[in-house]
Amino acid sequence: MLDADLSPLRNSSATPAGLGSGRIMLAALGFCTIGGFLLLTMTKRVSVLVALVLLPVLAALASGHADEIGPMALKGLTQVAPTGIMIAFAVLYFSLMIDAGLFEPLIRAILKAAKGDPVRIAVGTAVLTICVALDGDGASTFLITVSALLPVYRRLGMSRLVLAGIVCLGAGLMNLVPWGGPTARAAAALKLDTSDIITPLLPALGAGIAWVLFAAYLIGRRERRRLGELAPEERTEVPEPVGDGPGTPRVTAARHPALTVFNLVLTLTLLVLLVLETMPLPVLFVLAFVIALLVNHPRWEDQQALLEKHSKSVVLVTSMIFAAGVFTGILGGTGMIGEMAEAMVGVIPDGLGGHLPVLVAVTSMPLSLVFTPDAYYFGILPVLAGTADAFGTDSAEMARAAVLGQMTTGFPLSPLTASTFILVGMTGVQLGEHQRFIFRWAFGTTLVMTAAALATGALPL
């Protein structure tokens, strides 16, 4: 059986018969498979899950690999299993912490420190979004931050475009976390460990955070000029979020302060251990979630209720990851990805091949408005990675380049992402206005992070 690695040079030697016409046909079949995947998913003819499994199976049958479908698919599933496990328990862990009200003191502190100043409100919005977005889920981030801050924006007369835009910047940036969509998809598509992608990008992530805070400051200053300084007699206390409207965060029961301290210490410890890689990431999340569940919900009934409450989110995410394992396992095992990559190598000038990571990083953010994350990561990135490998670029570097823009800064702008409509719907802004208002700031995030990645060696010069 062929190795399911995505390198064209390693796979190309295992193509059927080794004849030129056979290799061309295999490459053409691979392009048709990916094209069909993009067409079916972008037109919503079938679900992404169905397309990820059915299309490579049909392609394997057409290429004469029927007897190898099982082993190739199983190998692909085995390779993405750690990623699927990590995502499942990361979603459970951060959902538990949100339910426990871990971020509520931060919300109150930001609102108190803002004191009605549009600049402070804007920067506080960015800080709150970055913290809440640690769960890697855009929908929950939008629900919490918009619900908490929309009353403040209304009271001060601040533009809702400012709220939507700054939340977009913070949530998009933090989507880079290992359990977030882009990193998880890139790891699954290229059979990488998430630490291979995110650890070298930590300095770039820091630069991105600094840029988002700076952008929020500039946006806030512009909003302050628009509103003008309020007269002292007009200044009132900023109201607390009420939490009784649709989409508002749940009201958590009163918690003992010691429990909140425990959750904070546990979360900070988990983040430190994740960065230090003291254990495999899936193991760390499994242990952290079990500890948090036992301490926060000691009763069996409460533990079961929490698992049932968040099981839908876990199943939706993990099933997609395992389906991606089947997709890339079969396409890599049959040699299709290798042949597609070699075909692309033939049309890329030698002088341009070494710059593919930079080109991918810069173009991936605008492409997020055209491709769904599944289409980009599972359909396009493997071919780009295989092509770059022929020019001596490691697949991990291509994965880093992709996550710097595609769906990292672009997903809260894309009409192809469902959570985008949660953001614009809750803030009451039009999607087109939101895109025009924040696109250049979001693209700036990609450029800043790409420059930092180049400077620190995460991407090759």
CA dihedral sign of residues 88, 91, 94, 98? negative
Q: How many domains does the chain have?
A: 1
Residue 165 within any structural domain of the chain = yes
Residue 17 is predicted with a pLDDT of: 38
In one letter, which amino acid is 264? Answer: L
Nearest alpha carbon to residue 148 among 426, 439, 448, 438: 426
Helix (H) or strand (E) holding 176: none
Output DSSP code: residue 254: P
Residue 30 within any structural domain of the chain: no
pLDDT of the residue at 301 = 92
**pLDDT tens, position by position, 258-307:** 888 899 899 889 878 876 778 888 898 899 999 999 999 999 999 999 99
**Smallest Cα–Cα separation from 163: which of 213, 111, 237, 216?**
216
13 within a domain of the structure (yes/no): no
In whole angstroms, what is the distance from residue 57 CA to residue 266 CA? 44
| Residue 374, CA atoms < 13 Å, CB-side half-sphere | 27
- Residue 267 belongs to a domain: yes
Give the dihedral sign, CA 340/342/343/347.
Answer: positive
In this predicted structure, the answer to whether residue 136 has a pLDDT above a threshold of 60 is: yes
Please report whether residue 248 resides in a domain: no
The answer to whether residues 337 and 382 touch, using CB atoms and an 8 Å cutoff, is: yes
Residues with Cβ < 8 Å from 25, sequence gap 6 or more? 63
Q: d(Cα 449, Cα 461) in Å, to the nearest integer?
A: 14
CB 336 within 8 A of CB 68: no
| pLDDT the model gives residue 34 | 80
**Residue 93 located in a structural domain:** yes
Average pLDDT estimate for 344-356: 69
Tokens 């994350």, located at residue: 373
pLDDT above 90 for 344: no
Q: What's the predicted TM-score (pTM) here? A: 0.65
Please say if the pLDDT value at position 4 is more than 80.
Answer: no
CA distance 51 to 49: 6
Going from the C-alpha of 364 to that of each of 200, 251, 357, 438, the distances in angstroms are: 19, 38, 10, 17
Q: Which domain holds residue 296?
A: 80-230+256-317+348-456
Asked if the structure places residue 149 within a domain, the reply is yes
- Tell me, yes or no, whether 362 lies in a domain: yes
DSSP 259-288: HHHHHHHHHHHHHHHHHHTSS-HHHHHHHH
pLDDT digits (tens, 9 = 90+) for 9-27: 334 333 333 446 777 888 8
What's the pLDDT band for 453 if we cut at 50, 70, 90? Answer: very high
